[in-house]
Amino acid sequence: MLSRLKSLNSLQFTFILALYYVCVFNIPFFNVVKHGIDKQADVNMLFIATVPFFLVFALSFVFSLFTLKYLTKPFFILLTLISANVFFAEFQYGAVFDYGMIENLVQTNQSEASTYLNWVSILSFIVTGVLPAFLIYKVNIRYKPFAKEVLSKALFMLAMLAGILLIAAFYYENYLAFGRNNSLIKRSIIPTYFIGSTAKFINLNYLQTPLEYQQLGLDASNTSSKLEQKDKPNLVVMVVGETARAMNYAYYGYQQPTNSHTQEQDLLVFNNTTSCGTATAVSLPCMFSRMDRQDYDERRAKAQDNVIDVLSHAGIQLQWLDNDSGCKGVCNNIKHLLIDNTHKSKWCNGESCYDQVLVDELDHQLADISAKDTVIVLHILGSHGPTYYQRYPVEHRFFTPDCQRSDIQNCTKSELLNTYNNTILYTDYIISQVVNRLKRESNKFDTAMLYMSDHGESLGESGLYLHGAPYALAPKEQTHIPFLAWFSPEFALQNNLDLTCLKKQAAAGGFSHDNLFDSLLGLMNITSEVYQAKADIFARCRR
């Protein structure tokens, strides 16, 4: 028996490999199928019994296209190693490897990627990826003479196709209906879906001709000087959050004191705010772009100005300070600084930095900026997982016991919530520090602060962890975000803002990332043909 396994003909190899992929790598797929069965009142179990056979036949057919001499081993070794990582992410975190996830992976830096490494992920990779890849390397695959090999392969593929058609002949309508009611099914098949998503990403980003760049708002004009009695320039600090979900904010009714640091600072709390995407690579450029979520297109966004550029056209002094994985192109045309993880600071450990490092850098910027209208963006690391415990210093470890590990699925629910809540509380501390610094600048500037997260996070609800779910299927944990604001009394007075009106508007809520473009322009008193007053949150309360 062992000698037979050491030597297989190409068809045997193809079929056994397809079986392995179905029985191991597609466990997440069968979990999705089970979920579909559980929520459906009447299911034909004979139809369900055909699903693994259908998948084996389909993968065998596809794999046959690549079982070619000199190609088979390197191709399937690489595919198996990649599939092992995809399997772990899908099985443990419920991740879906669509276009957005591939984009997010490509833009992830080494430090961020290392946070996903733990003994569970490494062991899974060795058992499901490295060992099978080693067996593929060692097995002797026999090929017939060319003509006979082509004929036998063709007959094998016809047999697989016949099996698919036979199942379809009896259960086509069942597959169609079940697929429509469970749209996550096709997204869970390994390796076909992540390969298709990767091919789409490569095509759109590297093979298609880049669009001609379009500048927007070249007519932008700063009208602050026309405001009566205004004798100081505006200074707005926008804090862009990372992975913060609204449901864990005390401001939104959460029962834990996650906003105790800003409680006395009279922040405006905007209810029911939604994100443009479920991952930074999508949400960050989308929230600053002229496009709304419904019509957002990554290629077009890269080929046109965003609101930061329009502010620059209007002569606003700009700075982007980043402690996350970069600005995803948003800040390319202005002065920007990406914090080096090896930064010589007590806030950095060589792998990541606590967000206090941005507050310290803000101090340096405030000491040097000119007395003119200014916007400074702080892109914080916030609540980025799965190593939530690395996002706050020990002195900010308020909720205990917390989850001091990256394999968060192995923590208890209370431990996971505690460590995530600590990140929210620490972000609240950072916001309070920013507001305090803005108060100190009130002799030189009229000051304001905005805070808005890029997307939310799943913490085990419905078996999902982290973020990046397809937006159409994403739970509210990943799309409902915190949106906070603070205005000094002088800023409100000198910019004709009615704070009482804004508090009512914030309580009513119903905003999204779509509002940011026009709200930033309006807040800085910018006029332009690209400005749309109806989307400006603050225009509705301007005296």
pLDDT per residue as tens digits for the range 515-536: 999 999 999 999 999 999 999 9
| Cβ atoms of residues 318 and 308 within 8 Å | yes
Q: In what order do the strands lie in the sheet with 317-322?
A: 268-269, 483-487, 446-453, 234-241, 374-379, 317-322, 336-338
CB atoms within 10 A of CB 395: 7
Length of the chain: 543
Does the pLDDT value for residue 2 go beyond 50? no
Sign of CA dihedral 141, 142, 147, 150: negative
What confidence score (pLDDT) does residue 5 get? 56
**pTM given for the model:** 0.83
What is the predicted pLDDT for the residue at 340? 86
Cis bond leading into 74, ω under 30°? Answer: no
- Residue 209 DSSP SS3: coil
**Average pLDDT of the residues in 222-244:** 92
In this predicted model, what pLDDT tens digit does every residue of 437-453 receive, in sequence order? 999 999 999 999 999 99
Stronger pLDDT, 110 or 345, i.e. the higher one: 345
Grade residue 191 by pLDDT with cuts at 50, 70 and 90: very high
Domain 233-541 has what CATH class? Answer: alpha beta
Q: Helix (H, G, I), strand (E, B), or coil: what is residue 483?
A: strand
Rounded to the nearest angstrom, the gap between the alpha carbon of residue 336 and the centroid of all alpha carbons in its chain is: 22
CB-side exposure of 17: number of CA atoms within 13 Å?
33
User: Residue 96: exposed, middle, or buried by beta-carbon count in 10 A (0-12, 13-18, 19+)?
Assistant: buried
Query: Residue 175's pLDDT is what?
Result: 85
**High-pLDDT (> 70) share of the chain, %:** 99
Q: Is residue 409 within 8 Å of 463, Cβ to Cβ?
A: no
Compute the distance between CA of residue 60 and CA of residue 191 in angstroms, rounded to an integer. Answer: 12
Find the mean pLDDT for residues 160-176. 91
Predicted local confidence at residue 110, as pLDDT: 73
pLDDT for 104? 81
Predicted local confidence at residue 38, as pLDDT: 85
Q: pLDDT class for 1, splitting at 50, 70, 90?
A: very low
Quote the pLDDT of residue 424.
98
State the pLDDT confidence band at 55, using cuts at 50, 70 and 90: very high
Exposed/middle/buried for residue 204 (C-beta within 10 Å: 0-12, 13-18, 19+): middle
Tokens of 17: 């490999």
For residue range 95-131, what is the model confidence (pLDDT) as tens digits?
Answer: 888 888 888 888 777 777 777 788 889 999 999 999 9
Mean pLDDT taken over the chain: 93
Q: What is the pLDDT of residue 4?
A: 53
Confidence of residue 351 (pLDDT cuts 50, 70, 90): confident
For the chain, the C-alpha Rg in angstroms (whole number) is 27
- With b for 16 or more beta-carbon neighbours within 10 A and e for fewer, the 476-486 pattern comes to ebbbbbbbbbb
What average pLDDT does this structure show over 139-159?
A: 95
User: Who wins on pLDDT, 421 or 178?
Assistant: 421
Between 157 and 38, name the one with better pLDDT.
Answer: 157
3-class secondary-structure state, position 91: helix
Per residue in 246-301, pLDDT (tens digit) is 999 999 999 999 999 999 999 999 999 999 999 999 999 999 999 999 999 999 99
* Interatomic CA distance for residues 349 and 111, integer angstroms: 11
pLDDT at 48 over 80: yes
**Above 50 in pLDDT, residue 155?**
yes
Of 42-46, 144-148, 500-504, the least confident = 42-46
Domain ranges of the chain: 2-206, 233-541
